[in-house]
Amino acid sequence: MEETKIGPVRMLPGPRKGKYPHCHSIYVEGAGVLIDPASDRDRLIRLRNEEDVKMIWLSHWHEDHFMHWDLFADLPLWIGRQDAPPLSDLEILLDWYNMGQPENRSLRDRWRPLMIDQFHFTPRTPDRLLDDGEIFELSGVRMEVIHTPGHTPGHLSFWFPDEKIIFLGDYDLTWFGPWYGDLYSSIEQTLASGELLRNLPADTWIACHETGIFYGDTEKLWDDYLAVVDRREEKLMEFLKTPRTMDEIIHQWIVYGRAREPMDFFIFGERAIMEKHLERLITSSQVGREKERYYAI
């Protein structure tokens, strides 16, 4: 992928089309704002050396969005108010991934050094906490903060009204659909944030992963992206016509489609999403539970 520049907004593509563990970064010229420094490390080193980078903003707390923040450790760090806690302590970060259960202990033990060695995690106290609706004018560039929770509780999108550009963060319009598997993620908030974003009068849509940049009418993209939530739920309800254990639900691979390696990582992800759907379906009296088995009502 090549860099794309629209007005003062420049998209810096991540390796492998910004797939995990990378993302696409945004650099706002003049304002000197670098958003989500987890794209190509060499490119970010050149950016640091050649441009007047003034501050780092994070769309949310995930490691594939802060991976190269060590290159800018001396610069101010801004993030959404609700997403600051995981940055303060590695154990809190792992807790927010819902890695506190006994079955996740070995995964947690492997992730701890990974966060430090690969993702350069060090405890940080943000210099500024961002809130919904704040508008900044930095060197003639207007930027509005839009709180879009669901993926994480403090996930932010950034609206550039003069250029009609919206930076979507991890509402990435991919075939995979939304992720809402963290401890404090929410299906309902994810859907609400998707509806909010799709109705902005944008001409350009920039997301953190894969295709990354979209122009013009994105209605079908939004339809397909948000429909993944219902499709997962429909498959789960069909499977639960016969009572099933959580292990059986996980190995149906409703989220990922098939078993993948590393197996424990994908089992963790499958469980995380399915637990959110089961919680929602139990609350709405569509699913019941008897001992270790879930069933459709």
Structure tokens at 115: 């966060």
In the chain, what are the domain boundaries? 4-222, 240-296
What's the pLDDT at 95? 96
| Nearest C-alpha neighbor of 148 from the set 180, 112, 108, 115 | 180
Return the amino acid letter for 76: P
Percent pLDDT > 90 in the chain is 97
What's the pLDDT at 79? 98
Please answer whether residues 44 and 22 qualify as being in contact, where contact means their C-beta atoms are separated by less than 8 angstroms. no
Q: What is the dihedral of CA 93, 179, 280, 291, to 10 degrees?
A: -70
What's the pLDDT at 141? 97
Structure tokens at 73: 């450790």
In this predicted structure, the answer to whether residue 104 has a pLDDT above a threshold of 90 is no
3-state helix, strand, coil in the chain (%, to 5): 35, 20, 40
In this predicted structure, the answer to whether residue 24 has a pLDDT above a threshold of 90 is yes
Q: How far apart are the first and last CA of the chain?
A: 48
For the stretch 219-257, pLDDT in tens is 999 999 999 999 999 999 999 999 999 999 999 999 999
Q: What is the dihedral of CA 12, 16, 20, 24, to 10 degrees?
A: 10
Please answer whether residues 155 and 197 qualify as being in contact, where contact means their C-beta atoms are separated by less than 8 angstroms. no
Backbone angles phi, psi at 127, to 5 degrees: -80, -20
Please answer whether residues 203 and 166 qualify as being in contact, where contact means their C-beta atoms are separated by less than 8 angstroms. no
What's the CATH architecture for 4-222? 4-Layer Sandwich (3.60)
